[in-house]
Structure 1
Amino acid sequence: MFQSIPWLAAASIASGIVSVGFIGYLWPYRDRLGGRFFIATIGCEALWALAYGVALFVFDPTLRYAFEVPIWLAINFIGVFFLAFALEYTGRSELLRSKAMGAVVGLQILHTVVVVTNPIHGIAWTNYRIEPVFGLATVTYAHQPWLFVNAAGFIAMIGVASFLLADTVFSYGPLYRTQAAAIAISPIFPGLPFLLWLAEVGATPPLNLTPLLFPIHLAFDMYAFFSRDMFEMVPAARRIADRGAIDSLGTAVVIVDAGERIIEHNDEATRVLGLPAGTALGGRLAEHAPDIDPAASGGTVTRTVDGTERTYAVTTAALETAGGTAVGNTVVLQDITAERRREQRLAVLNRVLRHNLRNDLNVVQGYLDIAIGRVDDADLRGMLETAERKTAGVVELGEKARTIESAMGGEAGSVATVAVEPLLEDIRDDLLAETDAEIGIEVPAELSVRTDASVFAVVLENLIGNGVVHNDADTPVVTVRTVEADPGHVGFEIEDDGPGVPAHELDVLDATEETALEHGSGLGLWIVKWGVASLGGTVDFEVSEAGTTVRLTLPDAADADATREAGEGTATPGTSAPERDNP
């Protein structure tokens, strides 16, 4: 039946035509990463299939041998182009210009020259003859060692390329998994018949069925191209982004394996740690940074960089496989020199303002009080009293700074369960001891909030205190009540009947640049803003002719810490006199 139908030749030619058609679809993508090399790979397949299909009709030995040249040219360079595609597609383009890649290309050129000149020397094969099968001009020849070396190189390149694509499947998760897997698997189908032909396995050894399997190979490639946006989503972008992100951080990053050997680092790490350029990989981190433990996060190290002593915060993170096996650690060195210097300057200034200046002003206040008591002149006494009030305001401003430092200068995350009603009652009692006011508390008696107790108290003291102090009524009225909030949050509303917070002071809180604080009038609002921000909440002010309404929303850590809360008591933080803003 097969003798009357040139099925092998027709199938091979059809396979070549399909490949050429696929190239037509791919051509607009030739400038994408991997595009030109993928097109060249398909082009070699088309050349192989078409040349083999036509050669099966040629019975003249000399002319038939001439067709071996394009066939082996395609065989020799399919691997080269597929490997080049895999390198560029997965983000390893720098290897395309390496000496190793140049050697690969040179070797394949040599193999091609050997095939072309084989009739002269017989290095690749001998005893070349036509042995028709199914009425076609199939050939047979004795394979020589060089031919196996040639084929081994071809198979090795296909294998390396497939490995690179498979590595993308496992490394980058589902984003590129399907198209990379399809392209990595596709060479298996034409590869198996080629190996069988090379090993002369089968009933008819002269038949090389490889071109007939190209359509299956192309079906996987077409799936990757048409269904998975093969050239729209390339793994190279992810690989280059990973590398570029580390290099562009401006922060020293070192990655070590489980044996604490350096397997990756960026240029900043080379500069900070003094790593030897180009030779640090593979060396132990302890050789260059004995004071850094890759498994222990926290702490600081000091290094002299570019002639300047700098301080770095050390942060580490474990690297684990999907199964939880530890494979190494990432070490990040964050330059905190400027931050440390700023903290030092602020500490010195704070000491001067809080200690030296406060002490001196207390002396001034004492003398002013004495002078006021000894002066009979009303005008002079008035001036002294004004001076005494201004001095008291400056002292109070220093006390506000102390409150900020004590409440918000501690470690973040000092969470406690705060009983809200007792806290509000303590604040009310302190205020009523100094002024006449009506302070209403409309909160559930059982309401408790898990939050930073000291910061929470300072925020409420200032909001309620400001509503009393900045109120020109004979009896200021302030009401604190709970309001609805999102799940996991608690909402409060502080309402007063005063003249309202001036708009320019609220604008200061939203400004992106610093504004001078006049007479300390804005410091209380800053305390509220900073405190609420540190608690992770929000605060909004609504000013009307009836007064000011402040809406405060805070996250309640009780949900996240429910299991811990069972073993803890309820805390009511101690309160102090509210930090009030001077008019």
Structure 2
Amino acid sequence: MSTLSAVYAITLGVGVTAALIAWRERDEPGALPLMGMFIGQCLWVTFALFDLQSGTFEGKLLWSELLWIGVVVIPVCWLLFSLEYTGRDQFVRPRYILVLSVVPAITVVLAVTSRSHDLLYTSSELVMYQGQTFLNRSIGPWIWVIMGYTYLLGVLGSIPLLDFIRCESTMFRGQSGAILLGTLAPWVSNALFLGGVISIPAFDPTPIAFSVSGIAYLGAVTRFQLFSTTPSAGQHARRLFIDQLQEGVVVIDDHGFVVDVNDSAREIFGVGEERILGDQARTLFRRCDTAERDDVHSSGKTIYSPHTETLYDITRTEISDSHDRRVGMIFSFHDVGDHVRNQQRHEVLNRLFRHNIRTETNLILSHAELLESDPDTGDPATIKRGAYRIEDTAEKARTILDVFERGRTRDTAADLSMLLSRCVDLTAARYPTATIESDPVPDGVYVSEVLETVFLNVLDNAVDHNDDSNPHVWVTVETDEETVTVEFADDGPGIDDYERSVIERGTENSLQHSSGLGLWLIKWGTEIADGTVTFRENDPTGTVLTITVPTVDPAAKMGTDLERLLEP
């Protein structure tokens, strides 16, 4: 065996070893494309070795044609490896691989049929150099096509890896450096061959350069733990972090076009799965309305989304390149709906405490002063009723605070049939003259347990504010796969339009406010259960109050947010 054949054999051994290691780590990102690249190198070296050993013109033609199979596999696998290794595997899809393989497939067809055309080679002849026979073939026009394509994929595959050369991690710098070195060696040797720099006629040293590649790749595996630690997780984590942010994120370039958007932003702007990348940001932003908030904590840049029915504060962050040039902006949309609702609730509670308790206190104080000056002019019964009303207001306030506390933690699920039956029984026991009729509730329907407080207050308001000696309340329930609708109809005087408009609007002001806490408790408790409350007039008299809430899974684990982090 000649020295050149021995070098080929050693190169083949290094390539096979590297391919086996890649196969062993085939579940790791980039391992399978890297194995494909090693297989392509091994095929090239194998057929080049057979060409070298062949002593006939026909034999050398055959092996020189077949080695193209290995040649065209390498650049495609190199690009796929780079994409997977760096976490850009969204481009490693069958349709993309098929497109990348078109030029290589044409090249292989042209290679095996090269004797019938001049596209790949224009002529072939045997030449002797130091006792060794080589096949000298003059290249045709397609050679420049496939070589240009090969170097293009090589450059495209190198670009993602160059980012990690400047990485803080020594491990990733070492991996990328070794891989790029291993890829550069055959590139340079092939360029020297095509440029006519090699003094040996008809000899392509690229297969020998693969020994450098194999050693470099093996060094990346053993020294820098190529398949034990890869940067793909970081790339996926950044994408996953953006996608799973509760805040909406829209990225635009410096010309105002949308270049990225996460799922939360899609919900805010109601675009679903529509293709919006590349559209003008103005077109996207017009899908929501601007809004102003009287809030000292607000930046003043707020929008209202009709698609999610909530308010969002907007934060704008400029994106700059390494030369401090602005290249785009990131818009983040923070849900302030809960903050606004809590602010409104506190305003209502403060007003009610200031107004109701102050009124009752003044009433008690004035009658107490009358009793003190003249026992015959004061009214002890009025003082007693005022004290009871203060106690009732305090009790409702404590109940509301309890409801708010449940909203901060994960509430438990309750069987609707048992919950509603318990509320009806408690109300009937408190008001013996009232008649409460309730439809049967289907079994297996579960709702938030906070609704027990809501239903009790609905029934209590319906009976307590009815002047009839025998107040009547009808309760009906409708269910579907995802929601429950509970309707309470009474024959009382009804809720006046003024009071109802304040509750439906969800806030009060100095000119418009409600008279008590009962309806607010119903509204807030239903919202905490992710439901809605509506009112309408009953015929011939009274009110129909409808509560619609989502059903909940009774098997869902309950607990605090911190406890849920410990769940597998």
Which TM bucket (shorter chain)? 0.5 to 0.7
Alignment map for 1:71-220 (pairs within 5 Å): 71-97=67-93, 99-169=95-165, 176-220=172-216
Deviation of 1:73 after TM superposition, in Å, equals: 0.9
Structure 1 residues 78 and 135, CA, compared in 2 at 3 Å: closer, same or farther?
Answer: same
Q: Counterparts of 2:304 and 2:167 in 1: how far apart (Å)?
A: 35
- Residue 255 of structure 1 aligns with an amino acid whose one-letter code is V
Of the candidates 276, 280, 284, which is equivalent to residue 284 of structure 1? Answer: 280
C-alpha distance in 1 between matches for 2:89 and 2:131: 47
Structure 1's consecutive aligned runs of 4 or more residues displaced over 4 angstroms after TM superposition are 168-175, 274-279, 290-293, 372-376
> In the alignment, which residue of structure 1 is the partner of 2:299?
298
State the secondary structure of the residue aligned to 2:53: coil
Q: Separation in 2 of the partners of 1:277 and 1:363?
A: 62
CA gap 1:136/1:368 in 2 versus in 1, 3 angstroms: farther
Change (3 A) 1:21 1:363: same
Name the CA distance, whole Å, in 2 between partners of 1:292 and 1:204. Answer: 74
Question: Per-residue CA shift, 1:280-325, capped at 9, x if unaligned?
Answer: 32333233326889xxx9334333433x632111122232335544
**Using a 3 Å threshold, how does the CA distance of structure 1 residues 98 and 259 change in structure 2: closer, same or farther?**
farther
Describe how 1:344-355 pairs up with structure 2 within 5 A: 344-355=344-355
Letter in 1 for 2:206: T
- Which amino acid is the alignment partner of residue 299 of structure 1? G
Retained in 1: the 8 A contact 2:303–2:314? no
Distance 1:292 1:186, change over 3 A: farther
**Kept after mapping to 1: 8 A contact 2:110/2:120:** yes
Partners of 2:365 and 2:181 lie apart in 1 by 87
Q: Shift of the alpha carbon at 1:326?
A: 3.1
Give the equivalent residue in structure 2 for 1:557: none
Separation (CA, whole Å) in 2 of partners of 1:174 and 1:278: 42
Shift of 1:83: 1.4
Q: Supply the distance in 1 between the matched residues of 2:137 and 2:264 (Cα, whole angstroms).
A: 60
Query: What is the match of residue 249 of structure 2?
Result: 253
Q: Partners of 2:201 and 2:279 in 1: how far apart? A: 53
Other-structure match for 1:234: 230
Does the 8 Å CA contact 1:191/1:210 hold for their aligned counterparts?
Answer: yes
Partner of 1:330: 330
Contact 2:357 2:390 (C-alpha < 8 Å) held by counterparts:
no
SS for the counterpart of 1:186 is: helix
Letter in 1 for 2:202: P
8 Å CA contact retained: 1:58, 1:64: yes
What is the CA–CA distance in structure 1 between the aligned matches of 2:319 and 2:169, rounded to whole Å? 16
- How far apart are residue 14 of structure 1 and its match? 0.8
Are the equivalent residues in 1 in contact too, given 2:258–2:281 (CA < 8 A)?
yes
Name the count of aligned residue pairs: 385
% identity of equivalent residues: 23
Letter in 1 for 2:85: Y
Q: What residue number does 2:261 align with?
A: 265
Q: Distance in 1 between matches of 2:168 and 2:237?
A: 12
Is the contact made by 2:290 and 2:304 (CA closer than 8 Å) also made in structure 1? no
**How far off its partner does 1:352 sit?**
1.0
Query: Does the 8 Å CA contact 1:57/1:136 hold for their aligned counterparts?
Result: no
Query: With structure 2 as the length reference, what TM-score do the two structures score?
Result: 0.61
Aligned partner of 1:463 in structure 2 is: none
1:18 aligns with 2:14: yes
Q: Is the 8 A contact 2:129 2:201 kept in 1?
A: no
Deviation of 1:272 after TM superposition, in Å, equals 2.0
CA shift for structure 1 position 185: 3.5
Contact 2:171 2:224 in 1 (8 A): no
When the two chains are superposed, the root-mean-square deviation of aligned CA atoms in Å is 3.5
Find the aligned partners of 1:261 and 1:234 in 2 and give their Cα distance: 33
Q: 1:113 to 1:37 in 2, by over 3 A?
A: same
Q: Which runs of 5+ in 1 are unaligned?
A: 399-583
User: What SS is found at the alignment partner of 1:137?
Assistant: strand
Asked whether the 8 Å contact 1:9–1:52 carries over to 2, the reply is: no
Shift of 1:279: 4.2
Amino acid at match of 2:140: Q
Matches of 2:368 and 2:183 in 1, distance apart?
96
Report the 3-state secondary structure (helix = DSSP H, G, I; strand = E; otherwise coil) of the residue aligned with 1:260: coil
Q: CA deviation digits over 1:455-496, x for unaligned, max 9?
A: xxxxxxxxxxxxxxxxxxxxxxxxxxxxxxxxxxxxxxxxxx
* Cα pair distance change 1:348/1:35, threshold 3 Å: same
Aligned residue in 1 for 2:34? 38
Cα separation, 2, equivalents of 1:146 and 1:163: 26
Could you say what secondary structure the match of 2:357 adopts? helix
- TM-score (norm. length: structure 1): 0.59
For 2:322 and 2:144, the matched residues in 1 are separated by: 40
